[in-house]
């Protein structure tokens, strides 16, 4: 009896383990989302799903994060789904930063809704400690709602919101709004000498407390000739509240918008990846550029590793020694991960990699300099939480236990299969029918297809003009592989359940015979 009970326990534990693995979150591709790094967690929120039908254009209330305090591989990402706590309306083209008095609060500004017929509050805040959203009360007069812009936060917790579009009437602006994330108050910056109105530009806070603005476009329509040149960049001095223009030279990138840009680890190089231009196709080899801000000269860096697709409407963050690129458009998820890693620790040669190694614990308390979702200030080591070692140890122990469970279950399944063969080969004799009453046919449980319920891949996705942008279509072979994998897992589950039934019924029969 004890032996059989142990077998039941092991089988049921493994069954639950398989169910848990099968239920891991696998977020779909998205673009125009936000990616915000807070407390070693990269939070992904909002965005579009590239579906032509406006009713399905928004991803939904997906809200999840990637733990960057532990190692991971881009081909096996473990996302943590926290959509259940999300109270922010569906949206895209919002901007976000990390700020607040303790520099650990997620600030989300504006964003666009489909048809924009429901006004969402200008600002939301998320507290990672309590996993809760709030709508802060902010003093000052501001009724301006903008989207498709880049929020930049400085060393004093002030969030700079320049340019962008009004969304509802396709009006673009070049004003500067300033949100004090510590005192929760609105202010305005100078527009004298500011660049022409634009959206989908790149922006980064430099160590000299100036914000550099790069590229962009002058209208919402994706396939018009509205992409701006990058041979000039614009600098906003946060100390002096003044604008200046700077010419660039060297191997200047082609005109583009909707790219990502981050500050290199030396605080001197601006790294640009991806982008879109309606008049030309940006090839993978034309995706990566570097601007040396000491000379304002562009160059193409030496890069090793697998050449990856060009992306746009994606986001990028500097985490440790990596430029971490998340989601976007114009890549095939069956061939490339939603997360790309560019090792930028060596200025002489960058490298595309799949394995992420978190930075070592900082010997001193980390600075409270805020960073935006697509830029970084002077290089800092990310602190690793005190639970990191425990997490690694727990993972190792869990792997060992799972290995032992797998070994035990393989042995039990072997015994079950052997006994089954003996029963099948046995010649039934009169009076022995009772011995075969447990050897029923396996119940075939129909498998529900969870991958194709009205959400098939479309040949077109929309950027800002709803349905003009052409992207690669995921092949049917990919979906077939997913179905095959799911079928195999379902079959294994059914086998385990059948084994449990037979072992239980045989044990009950033995007890009754013993009586």
Residue 224 CB partners (closer than 8 Å, separation 6+): 278
- The pLDDT score that the predictor gives to residue 170 is 78
Task: Using pLDDT thresholds of 50, 70 and 90, give the confidence band for residue 474.
Answer: very low
pLDDT higher than 70, residue 114: no
The owner of tokens 């601007």 is: 291
115 φ, ψ (degrees, to nearest 5): 65, -10
Q: Which residues pair with 462 in a beta bridge?
A: none
Per-position DSSP letters for 12-32, written without gaps between them: HHHHHHHHHHHT---PPP-BS
**pTM score of the predicted model:** 0.70
Which pLDDT tens digit goes with each residue over 299-322? Answer: 999 999 999 999 999 999 999 999
- The pLDDT score that the predictor gives to residue 93 is 92
Which is more confident, 320 or 23? 320
Which range has the worst mean pLDDT, 26-35, 147-156, 364-373? 364-373
Which pLDDT tens digit goes with each residue over 386-438? Answer: 333 444 444 444 555 455 555 556 566 666 566 656 555 554 444 444 433 33
Of 85, 131, 93, which Cα lies nearest the Cα of 315? 93
- The pLDDT score that the predictor gives to residue 457 is 37
Which range has the worst mean pLDDT, 96-100, 427-431, 498-502, 503-507? 427-431
- The pLDDT score that the predictor gives to residue 187 is 96
- The pLDDT score that the predictor gives to residue 400 is 54
Which pLDDT tens digit goes with each residue over 123-181? Answer: 999 999 999 999 999 999 887 889 999 999 999 999 999 999 987 677 999 999 999 99
Task: Using pLDDT thresholds of 50, 70 and 90, give the confidence band for residue 444.
Answer: very low
- The pLDDT score that the predictor gives to residue 238 is 98
Domains of the chain: 1-30+399-417+484-515 (no CATH), 94-112+138-385 (2.120.10.80)
Give residue 164's region: left, alpha or beta (phi > 0; psi -120 to 50).
left
- The pLDDT score that the predictor gives to residue 120 is 79
């Amino acid at each position: 009896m004890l032996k059989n009970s142990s077998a039941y326990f092991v089988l049921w534990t493994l069954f639950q383990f398989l169910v848990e693995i099968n239920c891991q979150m696998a977020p779909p591709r998205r673009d125009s989302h936000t990616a915000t790094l807070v407390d070693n967690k990269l939070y992904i929120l909002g965005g579009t799903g590239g579906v032509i039908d406006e009713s399905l254009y928004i991803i939904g209330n997906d809200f999840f994060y990637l733990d960057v305090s532990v190692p991971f591989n881009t081909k096996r990402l473990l996302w943590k789904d926290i959509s259940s706590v999300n109270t922010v309306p569906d949206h895209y083209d919002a901007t976000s930063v990390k700020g607040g008095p303790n520099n650990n609060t997620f600030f989300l500004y504006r964003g666009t809704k489909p048809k924009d017929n429901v006004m969402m509050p200008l600002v939301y805040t998320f507290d990672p400690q309590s996993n809760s959203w709030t709508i802060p009360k902010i003093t000052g007069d501001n009724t301006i709602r903008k989207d498709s812009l880049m929020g930049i936060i400085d060393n004093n917790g002030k969030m700079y919101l320049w340019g962008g579009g009004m969304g509802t009437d396709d009006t673009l602006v070049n004003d500067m709004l300033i949100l004090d994330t510590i005192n929760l108050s609105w202010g305005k910056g100078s527009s004298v000498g500011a660049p022409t109105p634009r959206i989908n530009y790149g922006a980064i806070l430099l160590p000299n407390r100036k914000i550099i603005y790069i590229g962009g476009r002058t209208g919402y329509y994706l396939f018009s000739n509205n992409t701006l040149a990058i041979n000039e960049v614009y600098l906003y001095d946060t100390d002096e509240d003044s604008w200046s223009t700077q010419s660039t030279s060297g191997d200047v990138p082609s005109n583009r918008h909707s790219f990502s840009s981050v500050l290199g680890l030396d605080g001197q190089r601006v790294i640009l990846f991806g982008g879109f231009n309606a008049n030309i196709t940006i090839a993978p080899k034309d995706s990566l550029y570097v601007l040396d801000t000491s000379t304002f000269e562009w160059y193409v860096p030496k890069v090793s590793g697998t050449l990856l697709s060009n992306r746009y409407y994606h986001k990028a963050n500097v985490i440790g020694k990596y430029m971490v690129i998340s989601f976007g458009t114009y890549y095939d998820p069956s061939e490339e991960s939603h997360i790309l890693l560019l090792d930028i620790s060596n200025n002489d040669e960058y490298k595309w990699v799949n394995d992420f190694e978190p930075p070592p614990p900082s010997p001193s308390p980390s600075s409270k300099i805020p960073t935006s979702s697509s830029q970084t200030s002077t290089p800092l080591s990310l602190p690793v939480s005190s639970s990191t070692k425990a997490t690694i140890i727990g993972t190792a122990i869990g792997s060992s236990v799972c290995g032992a469970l797998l070994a035990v279950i393989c042995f039990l399944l072997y015994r079950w299969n052997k006994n089954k063969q003996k029963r099948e080969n046995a010649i039934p004799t009169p009076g022995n029918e009772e011995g075969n009453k447990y050897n029923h046919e396996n119940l075939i449980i129909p498998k529900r297809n969870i991958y194709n319920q009205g959400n098939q891949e479309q040949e077109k996705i929309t950027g800002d003009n709803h349905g003009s942008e052409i992207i690669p279509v995921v092949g049917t072979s990919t979906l077939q592989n997913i179905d095959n994998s799911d079928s195999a897992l379902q079959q294994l589950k059914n086998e385990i359940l059948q084994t449990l039934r037979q072992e239980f019924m045989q044990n009950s029969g033995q007890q009754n015979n013993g009586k």
